[in-house]
Amino acid sequence: MKFSFTIVSVSLLAILTIGCGTPVSYFTSSEDTKSLDKKAREAVEQSLLEHFGTPTELVAWTELPIDFGRIDGKVVAAPAEKSNRFQVELTSDSEDVSRLTVNDLRGLALVWESGKYRTAMSLNDKNEEIAVNFQVTGYDADEKTLDVNVTLEPPPELGDRFYLLGYQLAQGHKLYRKYCVHCHGVNGDGKGPTAEYLNPRPRDYRRGIIKFDSTGRQDPPTRDDLNSTIKKGIPGTYMPSFLLEDHERDKIIEYVRFLAMRGEFERLLFSGMKNDFTKIVIDDRVNKGEDRNEIQQELDQYLAEDFPDRVKRSLERIGNAWKLVENSAHVVNPKSPRILPDVDPDSIRRGRALFLSGKTKCVSCHGVGAKGDGPNLYAYQDKPDGSGKYKVPGVFDDWGNKIQPRDLTRGIYRGGRRPLDLYRRIHTGIKGTPMTAFGTALSEKEIWDLVNYVMSIPFQ
């Protein structure tokens, strides 16, 4: 069985097939998308399919800041007559091309950078001109010959340059299936086959929210953040440390980023229609006297006029956020060094006073004794979407999972135990949870005092 891949850019659409033996699988729609009217849901699902594909037919939308993986090549010998095979020389800055096999290259998109096929066009089913999708269908590592899915007449010329795209993401998908999918699921929704047996639940990437990272409250994680989590694991959870090679972690990181961006894209498309075109909203509008046919006409008009712009702006917004966060300016770092308790013994006392104060309200969740048994665990909390309170008391994350505030007496910190890690947790909070960001409410000195107190608790 073959693995498909598609590449999309501003002016290029290329379909690829990557690897053999990959079971066919599909992304499933979120519960939000499923709540939409049939026509609205189909529009969201079709856009997701066009821009991200399926797990076995991925799409590389080149406007997104994902390292899809590029291998450069040039034609070094070509047949004298029409053929789909020619001899090549491959190079890559990140991969050892001498180790590449047919299973590594089969299905990758082949994009011509020079020669007569650089602007090759064909007609689709609607008789519209589209760019030809060149794919690698075979590779002989000994002879260095490449097969493509199109018979080239005339054949390419000596020196024609091209590149193969998709290697990094395809390998990331394979590694994700091997190490991650059983907990995090095909969609990256944290609903793998073992997820229901785990507490806390595996992370749902689809909101682009990673709880433990180094960036601001509204920012996605950096590649370094994801690398640290994969490499070190998360203490006190079922997320283990994966002692993989650096290049393997890099590939998994790109695939996780891909899943997160896909999930964010789906949420943004849904948010443009949730107030008017969910099944519940439409039924309510009809019950209040509106005509169902007129509502459908309104939806048709939205999908024809506003939805395409929503798609474009959503992709731009997601791409900018994940691109800009790699700038070091988005990483939270203290401007002043930590106040060491040995130098300032009162720092721990001041930190304890802050911990117990109404200014921070730490005891609401962590309790007076910092054992994670504060009064919020026994109260009914408001849902973050404003739809009322949860049906049971306790503390919940943004995914609706009941969570347990950290027992600080144990000295186990899921986001890392360095003073800098604790500083970031206090400064930025913990994304996707009720753990508040105190970066503007507290001074740096106060944050360091809290860090010193928290680090002292297990030894008291």
In Å, how far from its chain's centre is CA 230?
Answer: 14
Question: Residue 283 has which token pair?
Answer: 């039924």
Concatenated DSSP letters of 179-223: HTHHHH-TTSSS--TTGGG-SSPPP-GGG---SS-SB-TTSPPPH
CA gap 455, 215 in Å, rounded = 22
346-459 matches 70-165 in CATH topology: no
Domain boundaries, the chain: 70-165, 171-330, 346-459
Mean pLDDT on 108-115: 91
Going by their DSSP bridges, the two strands 70-77 and 136-140 should be labelled as unpaired
| Per-residue pLDDT reduced to its tens digit, 199-238 | 889 999 998 888 899 999 899 999 999 999 999 999 889 9
- The CATH topology of domain 346-459 is Cytochrome Bc1 Complex; Chain D, domain 2 (1.10.760)
CA gap 163, 111 in Å, rounded = 5
Q: What pLDDT shows up at residue 208?
A: 86
Q: What pLDDT shows up at residue 22?
A: 58
| Per-residue pLDDT reduced to its tens digit, 129-169 | 777 888 899 999 999 999 999 899 889 999 999 999 999 99
Is 204 in contact with 220 (CB distance < 8 Å)? no
CA gap 260, 239 in Å, rounded = 18
| Per-residue pLDDT reduced to its tens digit, 337-394 | 998 999 999 999 999 999 999 999 999 999 999 999 999 999 999 988 788 999 999 9
In Å, how far from its chain's centre is CA 179?
Answer: 16
Nearest to 164 by CA among 212, 81, 105: 105
CATH: 1.10.760, 3.30.519, 3.30.530, 2.40.30. Which one for 171-330? 1.10.760
Q: What pLDDT shows up at residue 6?
A: 46
Nearest to 365 by CA among 421, 403, 332: 403
Q: What pLDDT shows up at residue 254?
A: 96
Mean pLDDT on 28-49: 96
Q: What is the CA radius of gyration of the chain?
A: 26
Which 3 state secondary structure label does DSSP give 79? coil
- The CATH topology of domain 70-165 is Elongation Factor Tu (Ef-tu); domain 3 (2.40.30)
Question: Residue 254 has which token pair?
Answer: 């790109």
